[in-house]
Amino acid sequence: MRAQVAIIGGGVGGTLIANRLMQLLHGDARHETSVTVYDVRGLHTYQPGWLYVPFAQQDPEKLIRPEKRLLNHDVMLLSGTAGTVEHIDPVAKQIVTADGQTHSYDYLVLATGSRNAPEEVPGFAEGANHFYSEEASIALGQKLATFTGGRIVTGVASVPYRCPPAPLEFTFMLEDILTQRGLRDKTEIHYVFPINRPFPIESVAEFVTPLLAERGIQVHTFFNVDSVDPEKKIVSSLEGEDLPYDLLVLAPPHRGQKVIDVSKLGDRDGWIPTDRSTLRVKGYEGANIFAVGDATDLPVSKSGSAAHYEGHIVAEGIAADLQHRAPRQEYHGRVACFLETGHGQATFLWFDYAHPPKPPRPRRMWHLEKAALNTFYWQLIPPARV
């Protein structure tokens, strides 16, 4: 009987795991394994590209490709109602899809990602803007195109959130664009962040703080967004601070996917308790359930980079089990990403559980390398070539 591997989610982690597993399995193990990816849309989106859409530096249509084209030909893809998982039963090892079908599995990978939850903040949907979806990034671009000056408030509504550097990158790029358009002297930029520094990791916060000051960007820490008043154009914090704005751009609150809540596999915010080394779901270690990427509660960034490195570990773990051997790798918390600093420069962040990042000074080279990754992502990451 063939071993059934079910992967829920066709993002970075899910796609890479499916392809990497096909690379690792040989002979009888390959022929005796069936891999199925369940994805609602059947489309793969390169989400980091949304950062560039508001500045008219990226065509949003080029950020999407059919998931089927990215998968090994031996991997089955289910999309639409057939690919929409509504419930997971980890005891019976079954999943139920929106078309009413029940599917059994031997190995389950939860690559479900996260979801935007603007409803968590009263007035957010009406008064705030963001770039954490295709539609939102396009709408923000339209507003920036007609902006003529005033006060812009940027930052983060609450933690955790996807792609931690992105709000800072947006702010630095915004300052650069306003300078190019001759609007910088007519614009105040304020950056808000929920904790006592402008970035979750202390070493990065120490790196960006002088850059923000140098660019004349005012920072407001301990600013947990409580509400947005779209009529008065005021954003208020739980700590009691009110900030007027002409344009508000905030990373929205994030939560785990609803199927995780329904299946009672997550914590109160929908994040899946995950072993930091093996990436097996805690409480179900013997049930062959793994989690990767944004869906987990791991103390690393919710990012495509984390999902990429985690994906290799999960594929190796499943392959080792199928081949009756010990896994050759564990996850050590590795993440690597770029941070745009505007003015054609960027820095690079590399870190893991034991080693915090030490950002090098901004350079043109890092900006060009990020641009290259944005271009060649499709050929490198989903096929598990790196």
- Given 224, 253, 282, which residue is the final one in a domain? 253
Q: List the Cα angle 312/117/190 in 5-degree steps.
A: 95
| pLDDT confidence band for 30 (50 / 70 / 90) | confident
The domain total for the chain is 2
- Given 253, 280, 307, which residue is the final one in a domain? 253
Residue type, 226: D
327 within some domain? no
As a whole number, mean pLDDT of residues 92-101 equals 98
| pLDDT confidence band for 27 (50 / 70 / 90) | confident
The reply to whether 267 and 296 lie within a common domain is yes
As a whole number, mean pLDDT of residues 332-352 equals 98
Strand order in the sheet with 3-8: 76-78, 33-38, 3-8, 107-110, 289-291
Q: What CATH number does the domain containing 235 carry?
A: 3.50.50.60
The reply to whether 101 and 134 lie within a common domain is no
Cα–Cα distance between 386 and 90 in angstroms, integer?
31
Instruction: State which residues form the domain around 104.
Output: 3-113+257-322
Q: What percent of the chain has pLDDT over 90?
A: 97
Residue 225 has pLDDT above 90, yes or no: yes
Q: What is the pTM of this model?
A: 0.97
Upstream peptide bond of 198 is cis (omega within 30 degrees of 0): no
328 within some domain? no
The reply to whether 315 and 243 lie within a common domain is no
The DSSP H or E segment spanning 297 is none
